[in-house]
Each structure stands twice: as structure tokens, then as C-alpha cells.
Amino acid sequence: MSSVDTVRPVAEPTFEGSATTVQPTPRREWVFESTGSSARDEEPFAGARGMGGSTEKPPPNLDGPIRLRAIVRALFRAAHDETFHDGMESAFSRGVCLLVETEGTAAVEVIGELMTESPRHSEAASEALRWLGWVEDRPTYAARLWLIEKSLQHPSPRVRDAAGIGISAMADPHAIPPLKAAIARETVAELRDDLKQVLSEIEGLDSCPT
Amino acid sequence: MPYLMRSSRRSRWYPEAVQPWLPPNEPPADCLSDLETEHNELSVWLIDDDRANLERVVAALASKRQSLVPFDCRLVPIGRVRQLRLQLSQTPGDSHDHEANQLWHRDLQFLSAGRLTSLSRCLWRRGESRRFSPAQVRKLLIAGIQQGRLNRDDLRPELAFKLNLD
């Protein structure tokens, strides 16, 4: 049985999806809800699950980075129940973008931590990277670019491909050295070609007269 | 020989990414995420043997998206699919290019789970992946609009914004 998780505080703005809902409040309070639990849920805040519909346990007091980590973990867990389609938003991508916009650099850092935590997160990590490149949020720009560049070294080719797509979206010449390094060590031929294509496009932009 | 094309996520089909536990010539199960059926039918597109209509079909499909991202697809010679004895019917497509919808859209019909698995093997063993970069997709979309095959008003606002059409 899979769990369908909801991370939901109380106020606008609201972004709703089929499996996951993420809503921030002005005070950035977040509530966890879930319709069930599964064997793969092993985070230390398992008590946060099973709330929502049932009221078996009171909500835990989650503060600061620990609270943020639990939110991101719930997002990643819910992503297991989604199928992602290129170029189309998902409940997960909306949640990731909203978290970054509301929680800032700290959210990017926690997303980065979870991406490397388990191979199980590869699909969600890949989806997160694809959208992190598109987020229109100046304050987190450097952190997002750093995470995307770092993900070029991820063990999963799927995640490395998404990192290339994220870099393509950001089109930042600062990514050229890590991109060149990634091309040099890439073992998947198709991925290496795609990274070369991204590199040539960014170098082309970089050499354009302004 | 013409091809059948199915949009896909290229990284799900990397041959080098197979796991040691995977039997030889078997696609990873994640490939099935790209073969999502509806009413036991799978939407595919007929591509000319010289691939002259490939870019137009790519633009047609990309025009339905929300963002400007790479367009990945899997191409397989139609003869390979015919060997599976699957029912292939001409049906209207759902893209914003209405002529392309009529000319080149096909549905693989009456698909059982077993037949879909056979198709995934065929795509894995006999197919090839193609990627169009966001810059290429952008060019194709703009060309489609300029040549009247796509209507900019049909595009989602987020995508139209990324194309800088204003």
C-alpha cells in the first residue's frame, strides 16, 4: 500500500495537485497529512504521518531545519506515487518550486541532502533539478546553480541528465567548467552527447556580443 | 521504412544504465512510465522513412507543454512493431497542429499488459532515442507559428512567455 501525503498549512497561496498539496502561510507554518503509511517511510518524524484524517497523535513540534527536512522528505515520499511528464508541472514540482520561493536557500540545501540520501529518490531528484533551473527566484539563484552543478556528479545517470537540463535552463556561463568536467568523466554516451549540446549552447550565449 | 515515434524521457532508456540484475535485452521496468496507455491504447506518431516530418511532429507535441524543455522521443521502424501483430489505427491526435493530428497520429490498440511489455522490449532492442534541445524546440515552435501550423493563442501562457512571442 502506498501513502498519499499532504503537506499543508492553512493560508493562500494554494497549489493543489493529485497527490501532494503544499500551501504556505504568511508565518510559514506547515502541517503534515497523510492517508496512510508504507514500509518505505523511515524518517524520524513518522509521527507526523497518520495525522490529517485521523487524529491519533498530536502534531510534533518541528522547528527550523528539522521541520524543513521533514517537509522536503514528505514531498519526496509523495513523489513516488507520481509519474512525471516532460514539460508538465506535477504536484511535486509545484511543491519544490513553492518551497524554494518561500523557504529560500535552506530549502535548496535540504533538497540537495535528500537527493543523495537514497537511490530510491532518483526520479524525484531528477524532477526537482529540472524545475530548480526554471524557478524565477533571484535570492536562491546561487544555491540552485551550485546544487545543479554538484548533481552532475550524482551516481544516477538520470539525475546527471536532469542536472544538464537544469543548467541548460539557467544558461549561466559559470557552469561551463563543471560541465566540461562532467563531459570528461561521463560514461553514458547519449548523456555525454546531451551535455556537450548544453555546453555548446551556453558557450554560444557566452560569446554573443552584448 | 517509416518509423513509429513515442515521446519518452531519454534517461529512462539509457542502455548503459541497466542494472546487473536485469536479464539481457530486457528493458528496465521504469521504461513503462513512458508507455502510459489510455483505454488500452497507446498514442504514437508515424514518421516518414526520411524523417522529414519528425520536426513538425515534435513541434506539435511540444506545443502542448507548459515549459520549454528538451523533447525526447523513441523511434522504432514500423516493421518491427508490425512483427508484434499489434493493431495500429489512424486516429486524430491531440496536438495543436491539426493537420499533423490528422495525417500522422496513430493508436496502438487492444493492448494487453503482455503486449505492452512486448512493445517495450521492441522499443528497447530495436528503437533509438532522439533529443531536441530546448533551443531546438524553441526554433521549431516559432517556425510552426510563423508558418501557420500552430496558433500562438493555443499555447499555454507560461510557454508563450518563454518563447518571447510578444
**pLDDT per residue over B1-28, tens digit each?**
999 999 999 999 998 877 888 888 899 9
- Complex confidence, ipTM: 0.92
Q: What is the pLDDT of residue B20?
A: 84
How would you classify residue B148: left for phi > 0, otherwise alpha for psi between -120 and 50, otherwise beta? left
> Three-state DSSP class for B106?
strand
Identify from A15, A81, A84, A86 which residue to disrupt to test chain B contact, counting B C-beta atoms within 10 A and taking the largest count. Answer: A86
pLDDT (tens digit, 0 to 9) for every residue of chain A, 210 residues total?
344 444 444 333 333 334 444 444 343 444 434 333 333 333 333 333 333 334 455 455 556 778 889 999 999 999 988 989 999 999 999 999 999 999 999 999 999 999 888 888 889 999 999 999 999 899 999 999 999 999 999 999 999 999 999 999 999 999 999 999 999 999 999 999 999 999 999 998 766 554
Q: Cβ contacts (< 8 Å) between A84 and chain B: which residues? A: 9, 33
Show which residues on chain A lie within 8 Å of chain B, measured between beta carbons: 83-84, 86-89, 123, 126, 130, 134, 157-158, 161-162, 165, 168-169, 187-191, 194, 197-198, 201
How far, in Å, CA of A56 to CA of A44, rounded? Answer: 17
Q: What is the pLDDT of residue B17?
A: 73
Q: What is the pLDDT of residue A71?
A: 92
Mean pLDDT of chain B: 95
SS (H, E, C) A125-181: HHHHHHHHCCCCCHHHHHHHHHHHHHHHHCCCHHHHHHHHHHHHHHCCHHHHHHHHH
- DSSP characters over A28-59: ----EEES---TT---TTGGGTT-TT--SSPP
Give alpha helix (H) positions in B63-108: 78-82, 98-104
Q: What is the pLDDT of residue A111?
A: 95
Q: Are strands A21-22 and B3-7 parallel, antiparallel or unpaired?
A: unpaired
> Three-state DSSP class for A75?
helix
Q: What is the pLDDT of residue A208?
A: 59
Average pLDDT of span B142-162: 94
User: How many of the other CB atoms lie within 10 Å of CB of A181?
Assistant: 13
Q: Model confidence over B19-72: pLDDT tens digits?
A: 888 888 899 999 999 999 999 999 999 999 999 999 999 999 999 999 999 999
Asked whether the beta carbons of residue B11 and residue A126 sit closer than 8 angstroms, the reply is: yes
User: How many of the other CB atoms lie within 10 Å of CB of B2?
Assistant: 16
Q: Which of B38, B63, B49 is nearest to B162 (CA)?
A: B63
Q: Are B93 and B104 in contact (CB under 8 A)?
A: yes
H or E stretch at B4: strand B3-7
Asked whether the predicted pLDDT for residue B165 surpasses 80, the reply is no
Phi first, then psi, for residue A27 (nearest 5°) are -90, 5
Percent of chain B with pLDDT over 70: 99
Q: What is the pLDDT of residue B16?
A: 80
Nearest by CB to residue A87, choosing from B12, B30, B65, is: B65
